[in-house]
Chain A
Amino acid sequence: NAGVTQTPKFQVLKTGQSMTLQCAQDMNHEYMSWYRQDPGMGLRLIHYSVGAGITDQGEVPNGYNVSRSTTEDFPLRLLSAAPSQTSVYFCASSRRPGNNSPLHFGNGTRLTVT
Chain B
Amino acid sequence: GENVEQHPSTLSVQEGDSAVIKCTYSDSASNYFPWYKQELGKGPQLIIDIRSNVGEKKDQRIAVTLNKTAKHFSLHITETQPEDSAVYFCAAEKQFYFGTGTSLTVIP
Interface, chain A (partner B; CB < 8 A)? 4, 33, 35, 40-45, 58-59, 90, 92, 97-103, 105-108
Contact = CB atoms under 8 A, between A and B. Distances in A.
10 cross-chain pairs, A with B, having the tightest CB-CB distances, nearest first? A105-B43, A98-B95, A42-B100, A43-B98, A102-B46, A99-B94, A98-B94, A100-B32, A42-B98, A107-B43
Given A100-B31, A107-B43, A108-B43, A43 B96 contact: no
A95 to B, nearest CB: 13
B43 A90 contact: yes
A108 B43 CA distance: 6
A99 B95 contact: yes
Interface of B: 1, 4, 6, 9, 31-32, 34, 36, 41-46, 49, 51, 89, 91, 94-101
B32 A45 contact: no
A45 B97 contact: yes
B62 to A, nearest CB: 14
15 contacts: A40-B100, A42-B1, A42-B89, A42-B100, A43-B89, A43-B98, A44-B98, A45-B96, A59-B97, A90-B44, A92-B43, A100-B51, A105-B44, A107-B41, A107-B42
Contacts of B46: 102-103
A41 B98 CA distance: 9
Contacts of A35: 98
B100 A41 contact: yes
A44 B1 contact: yes
A59 B94 CA distance: 13
Contact of A103 (B6, B34, B101): B34
B1 to A, nearest CB: 6
